[in-house]
Every structure is written in C-alpha cells, then in structure tokens.
Structure 1
Amino acid sequence: MAQPLYYIDRSDLREGKIAQVRAGMRDLAEFVEAREPQLIAYHFYIDESESTMTTVAVHPDSASLELHMELGGPKFREFRELIRMNSIDVYGQASPAAVRQLRQKAEMLGGGTVTFHTEQAGFSRPAGVS
C-alpha cells in the first residue's frame, strides 16, 4: 500500500507583494481543489511578520505529487516575481520523477534547497478513530 507524502515549502515574500501573494494563494488553492480530487490537504500560511509563506500539502502517494507538479507548473511560475523559495521538504518516498520536478520548481522560484526525509517509525489513524 502506498504511503502518503507530506510536502512543506517555505518562501520569503518579496517587498510590497503581500496582497498579490494572498490573491495568488487563493487562486492556486481553488485551481488545485477543482483539478486534484486525490489531494488529501493543501494549505497556505503566512507568518505573523508577513515575510514568509509556508505551503503544506498531503498527497496520498508520489503519483499525486507528480500530477500536482505537472498541473500546477504554470501557476507556480506566476509566483516568480512574488516570492523567493527557501526550502522544500518532502516526508515519505518520492519517485525519481517527483524529485526532478521538485528540484526544477525550487530552481525556478529562487534556488531553495530540496530535502527528502525517509520515515523511520510511526503510524496514521483514519479520521475519527480514537
């Protein structure tokens, strides 16, 4: 059974671009929600100083991440003038294609680091189970 992938990226917001970033986040979230029903979660956050954006996504498997990168590519490019990517962290087993796509995304958005983390132990419970 495929294991979920947890994706977290962090970017610095460019000076004076907060309103455009917020509008872009809403647009991208609506775009993804309409086209990627397999995606478990997709959220954007801005820190209290309004200088850093964090994206958190939960994919059911690496194929979902690959699809997200393929469909979202043109939308991600719209952020080039708004942010500078600091880092992408992926928790779980990403395919070679997803690894390549993520490195390309990081380079396009400012050259941030891309780090992959391998699970060592843990478990998940279905929602509502206690």
Structure 2
Amino acid sequence: MSEVIIYVDQSTVRDGKLDELKAAMTELVEFVNANEPDILSYNVYFSEDGNQMAVVHAHADSASLAYHMQVAGPEFPPIGEFIELEAIDVYGRPSEELVHVFEEKVSTLGHGRVSIHDRHDGIDRISSD
C-alpha cells in the first residue's frame, strides 16, 4: 500500500487582494476538480482576518502529487500577484524531483521554505475508492 501524502502551503495575502484571490482560488478548485479525479482532497482555507491562506491537499501516493503539480502547476503563477508564498510542508515522502518542483514554486510565488516531514508511525483511513 502506498503512503498517503499531505501537502500544505501557507501564504500571506497581499493588501487589498483578498476578494480577487478568493475568486482565483475558486477557479483553481474547479479546475482541480475537473482535471484530477484521483486527488483525495483539495481545500483552501483563510484566516479569520483574511491575511493568511492555506491550501491543503491529500494524495494516495507521490505519483498523484506529481500529477497535480504537472496539471495544475501552470495555473499557479497568476495567483502570485495576490499572495506571498511563505511555506510548503509535505507530510510523507515525495520524490526528489517533486521536492525540486516545490522549491521552484516557492521561488516563483514567494520567498519561503520547503519542509518534508517523514512519517514515523500512524494509520490512514483515507480511501481513494
């Protein structure tokens, strides 16, 4: 069985850009929904004050995350005018190639860091069925 991978990115919302960002993220969610049938979950969260955004998605394996970055990746750069990407945290072990893709995303959309968190122990009840 493959290891579930959880991806979380956190961004600061640029001043005065919240409404435009929310509209852009709704379009991105619709794009992901239409083009990535194997993604387990894809969710966008905003802080109460609207100054922070987190994007959280779950994948059955590294291949699913790689597919997401390939298909949705071209949709990311226009969002850069609304955010400053601060961090990408990945829980589970993506391929080394994917780590480089994350590093490129951080440099394109912000100045943040990429952190990979290896699984120590646990259970998964997430099913792609």
Q: TM-score range by the shorter chain?
A: over 0.9
Name stretches of at least 5 consecutive residues in structure 2 with no aligned partner.
Answer: none
Aligned CA distance change for structure 1 residues 69 and 126 (closer, same or farther; 3 Å): closer
Q: Which stretch shifts more, 65-74 or 19-28?
A: 65-74
Write the letter of the residue equivalent to 1:52: Q
Aligned CA distance change for structure 1 residues 16 and 5 (closer, same or farther; 3 Å): same
What does residue 41 of structure 2 align with? 41
Paired residue secondary structure (2:32): helix
TM-fit CA distance, 1:96:
1.3
What does residue 87 of structure 2 align with? 87
- Equivalents in 2 of 1:89, 1:126: separation in Å? 19
Stretches (4+) displaced over 4 A? none
Aligned CA distance change for structure 1 residues 93 and 50 (closer, same or farther; 3 Å): same
Name stretches of at least 5 consecutive residues in structure 1 with no aligned partner.
Answer: none
Q: Do 2:4 and 2:124's aligned partners in 1 also have CA atoms closer than 8 Å? A: no
What does residue 10 of structure 2 align with? 10
Count residues in correspondence: 127
TM-fit CA distance, 1:97:
1.5
- Equivalents in 2 of 1:17, 1:88: separation in Å? 21
TM norm structure 1: 0.94
Q: Percent identity?
A: 39
Q: Do 2:40 and 2:59's aligned partners in 1 also have CA atoms closer than 8 Å? A: yes
- Equivalents in 2 of 1:124, 1:71: separation in Å? 26
What does residue 54 of structure 1 align with? 54
